[in-house]
Each structure stands twice: as C-alpha cells, then as structure tokens.
Amino acid sequence: MLRRNDFLSVCEVWELAMTAKPPAHTLSEAERTQLTQLLADASRGDSTAFDRVFPMVYAELLDLARRQMRGATSHTLQPTALVNEAWMRLAVAGGTVRDRSHFWAIAATAMRQILVDHARRKRRVKRGGGRDRVDLDAVDVSTDDGGVDVVALDDALTRLASLEPRLARTVELRYFGGLSVEEAADILGVGSATVKRDWSLARAWLKRELDGEAA
C-alpha cells in the first residue's frame, strides 16, 4: 500500500514532467530525415527498412531505458537488456509505426510494460513480499522511504485507461515517453491545449486514486 508521502512525491514528479523539456535528440538533422524515411519505407512493407533503424537509434533507446528505470531500486534488469527486449516488441510493430514521434511513444510504452511485467513476476515469486520501487531521489524529489510502488502506479493508470483512454495515453506520452506537448498532440490527433487540459485532469484523477490507496 502507498503511504501518503509516496503519493505526494509522485504528484511532484508529474509536475516536473509537465514542464520538463523532452529528452535531447542526439541524431543529426540528416539522420532524423533518414529515420523518417526508413519508418515510412517499413510502413509500406519494406522488410529490411526497420532492421536498419536499430543501429541509428540504439543510443537514444538506451537513454530512454535509463529514464524509464530512473532509480528503480530492486530491478535486476539492465538498461541494455531492457532495450533489447523492447526492440523485439518494436520489431513486431515495425510496419505500423507512422513517424519518429510515434516510434518513441511505442518504445516508451513497450519499456514500461516490460518493467511492470518484471515487477509483477517478482511479486508473485515473493508471494506479496517486497515490491519494486522507484527511487524518486533520482529525479531530485526527496521522500522518506525512497520510492514509489511501480505496480501501483501502473494499476492506477490501467483504471484510468478504462474510464478515459486519452487521459491515460497522455500520461504515457508525456511522463513515460518524455514527449513534448506538441509531439503528444500530434500522436493523439488533438490540439496542444487539449493535451495540457487532459494532462491536468489526469493528474487530478490519479491524485485522488493514489490518495485513496495511501489512506
């Protein structure tokens, strides 16, 4: 069960994420153009195009993996292993990726799912003992016990998705994917103002949910 200190820290992290800049891209303009072309070729059925994407984006995928695992205190997965497992999932979806922003959104979602699945498996083995927790000190937010239950966060987002899918997707894109408001708006097919409003509503809903678990 989340304690109130845990819940408050999560909300503070989301506040930071809302105003944070998206992760810096290391690809040159020419490489970004090439990546866009390869994704377009893959979507048109070129079976070799998506294979050529991996070496281009490996460094950025590794950075995304480290951000997804920010301060995870009991994960035995290494960022490189997370990238490799996520890539296997991405390869399955390769032909459906529309563009660069869509690619990073799918990558972030795949990594989040892998981490949560890993945490759930460990919990089943321990039969209720020790949960994977995220050390919020890694994002400059102090807590009393050093972490938040990543499974509880995922459960809350799943409940939100069953009620308001777009709000949950906004959290995934902005917080887990690190996308800008504009990038998230493009993927969701809405305006930037709508993304900002959905982000605010999602945080308020999640606050109430986690507050109930913390009580």
pLDDT digits (tens, 9 = 90+) for 161-172: 999 999 999 988
- The model's confidence at residue 186, banded by pLDDT at 50, 70 and 90, is confident
pTM exceeds cut of 0.75? no
CA distances from 117 to 57, 62, 88 (A): 24, 19, 15
**Which tokens go with 213?**
């678990």
Residue from 208, 153, 191 nearest 175 by CA: 153
The answer on pLDDT for 26 being more than 60 is yes
Q: Among residues 150, 167, 148, which one has the least CA distance to residue 159?
A: 167
Q: How many CB atoms within 10 Å of residue 79?
A: 18
CB-based contact 55:27 (threshold 8 Å): no
For the cut 90, the answer to whether the pLDDT of residue 37 exceeds it is: yes
Q: CA-to-CA distance for 107 and 65, rounded, in angstroms? A: 9
User: What percent of the chain is predicted at pLDDT more than 90?
Assistant: 20
Q: Over the Cα atoms of the chain, what is R_g? A: 17
Q: Which residue has the tokens 């998506």?
A: 50
Q: What is the mean pLDDT of the chain?
A: 75
pLDDT at residue 174 is higher than 80? yes
| Axis crossing angle, helix 181-188 with helix 100-126, rounded to the nearest 10 | 90
As given in the structure block, the two tokens for residue 188 are: 């969701």
Name the phi and psi angles at 7, rounded to 5.
Answer: -60, -45
134 and 148 Cβ atoms separated by less than 8 Å: yes
Q: Are 116 and 150 in contact (CB under 8 A)?
A: yes
β-bridge pairing 148-149 and 133-134: antiparallel
Least confident of 18-32, 33-47, 112-126, 129-143: 129-143
Q: How confident is the model at residue 77 (pLDDT cuts 50, 70, 90)?
A: confident
Over residues 101-124, the pLDDT tens digits come to 888 888 888 888 888 888 888 777
pLDDT at 137 exceeding the cut of 80: no
Show the DSSP H helices in the chain as ranges: 4-19, 29-43, 53-68, 79-93, 100-126, 150-163, 165-171, 181-188, 192-214
Say yes or no to pLDDT of 5 above 50. Answer: no
- 3 state DSSP class of 148: strand
